[in-house]
A and B are shown apart, each in its own frame.
Chain A
């Protein structure tokens, strides 16, 4: 036996050592090739995994099923907690709903007391959009109402929600509407919580930019933007949209009007606002010739002096007050 073993060892051991060396060299070579040409070996790795792992589905399936059951069980165990949490939230929601209802009632009461009529002047003509300019931004559209229906250049145009543009060009039966996104459109607007005024200038992008803002720090994305009557172009208080910050950092306005579906548009009949030219007429009563009257006596100031009531004369001299009024 012992001699048998030793004779075998004589040739087995060197062969084994040789094979071991070959194996080690192969492994080292794989590692070095991976380091030098990583993508090739990674492709090989991906191929091996692709062939082996899907075949393991039968092994994976029960394990994943068991683990999922375990997860389900844990979530069942938490069901009481979840229920309590939902109940608490429901309670809070009820409180909010109650508050909202109360506010709504209160608002209705206040409106009733104040006899508020919302913009009685703003009647409108509704027109159908016949055609648009065809550019991807729809900078202007054509309406099927025109001078025959009393449309006048410059009137504001809304869709159901917000300001869409203004009339620019009236034909007998059609009118052209310049949309707020057009690069020629400049509309005065007011930002609502802060009351700042700005100019909304279209630049062919879906969200027009705001220019000439007094202090941009006072604006926040999400603020409401309404139209302003500066320059007598538009009626006040029409919803335009909300402030957003564009990707270029400029403040822009996301328009409330749905520009994707401009089918029907309302043209608002706006009357020119009354202008107060002479402040004196409102401040003091005047006689027919334009001289200021004393509100207490109903007589011109000169007459008071003549009748000899100097104690009643105001601190300002009548000339001075008349001078102020005439300015």
Chain B
């Protein structure tokens, strides 16, 4: 029983890694982008935040840090800063997992939006401190708004397709502990 649980956790971790790799790969594909297109929303961030709020045990901090560091490397961002900020954001949400568990989805959405906004500001401030060129403000803000707007959709997919839900009352983990 315990081994089965362990395997399921590892399987979910593998699934997340696969999805993240696919999303990063999709951004590298040489697909033609129309010149006046809207900035595409970032899918990996809302997925990760929603996942951490539902099953924190699936996503260890090390995996999150390394995956976002890899994303930094691949999409030509300054490496390390965004990974660090995402790590901080997920840890913040991980601590509040028990509180979020009873929240309505709208409230959760507001909280996650606030976290994303703070992460975005922290990223910009961090880049400004070391005097690195930053993305245009309007484009990155539009992108952030799209990312926030798409969060409920990501939650829907996460709960219905991937079947990662908030733990129900009385559910136990691999060691038989109450979640």
Question: A residues touching B (Cβ–Cβ < 8 Å)?
Answer: 1, 4-5, 16, 19-20, 23-24, 27-32, 34-35, 41, 45, 48-49, 52-53, 56, 59-60, 63-64, 67, 71
User: Are B29's CB and A64's CB within 8 A?
Assistant: yes
Collect the chain A residues with CB atoms within 8 Å of residue B35's CB.
none
User: Are A28's CB and B25's CB within 8 A?
Assistant: no
**15 A-B pairs whose Cβ atoms sit less than 8 Å apart in the complex:** A1-B178, A4-B175, A16-B61, A19-B61, A20-B91, A24-B84, A27-B80, A31-B79, A34-B79, A35-B78, A48-B73, A49-B73, A52-B74, A59-B25, A63-B31
**How many B residues touch A, CB cutoff 8 Å?**
30
Interface residue from B31, B32, B62, B175 paired with A23 (Cβ < 8 Å): B62
Interface residue from A16, A35, A64 paired with B132 (Cβ < 8 Å): A35
User: Are A27's CB and B74's CB within 8 A?
Assistant: no
Contacts A49-B73, A60-B29, A67-B32 given; does A34 touch B78 at CB 8 Å: yes
User: Are A24's CB and B79's CB within 8 A?
Assistant: no
Contact with A along B139-157 (1 / 0, CB 8 A): 0000000000000000000
Q: Does B107 reach chain A (CB closer than 8 Å)?
A: no
| Distance in Å: Cβ of A138 to nearest Cβ of chain B | 50
Q: Secondary structure at chain A's binding surface: helix, strand, loop or mixed?
A: helix
Q: 4 tightest A-B contacts by CB? A: A31-B80, A30-B80, A27-B84, A31-B81
User: Are A28's CB and B91's CB within 8 A?
Assistant: no
Collect the chain A residues with CB atoms within 8 Å of residue B178's CB.
1
Collect the chain B residues with CB atoms within 8 Å of residue A59's CB.
25
Contacts A27-B69, A27-B87 given; does A41 touch B132 at CB 8 Å: no
Question: B residues touching A (Cβ–Cβ < 8 Å)?
Answer: 25, 28-32, 61-62, 65, 69-70, 73-74, 76, 78-81, 83-84, 87-88, 91, 126, 130, 132, 175-178
User: Are B84's CB and A31's CB within 8 A?
Assistant: yes
Collect the chain A residues with CB atoms within 8 Å of residue B79's CB.
30-31, 34, 41, 45
Given contacts A34-B79, A52-B74, 13 further A-B contacts (CB under 8 A): A1-B176, A4-B177, A20-B87, A23-B62, A24-B65, A24-B84, A27-B84, A30-B79, A32-B130, A45-B76, A48-B73, A49-B74, A67-B32
Interface residue from A24, A29, A56, A67 paired with B31 (Cβ < 8 Å): A67
Report the separation of the CA atoms of residues A56 and B84 in the bound assembly, to the nearest whole angstrom: 27
Collect the chain A residues with CB atoms within 8 Å of residue B65's CB.
23-24, 27
| Distance in Å: Cβ of B85 to nearest Cβ of chain A | 9
Contacts A23-B87, A27-B65, A27-B80 given; does A1 touch B25 at CB 8 Å: no
Report the separation of the CA atoms of residues A49 and B176 in the bound assembly, to the nearest whole angstrom: 42
Contacts A56-B25, A59-B25 given; does A30 touch B69 at CB 8 Å: yes
| Distance in Å: Cβ of B82 to nearest Cβ of chain A | 9
Among residues of A, the one whose C-beta sits closest to the C-beta of B28 is: A53
Among residues of A, the one whose C-beta sits closest to the C-beta of B91 is: A20
User: Are A24's CB and B88's CB within 8 A?
Assistant: yes
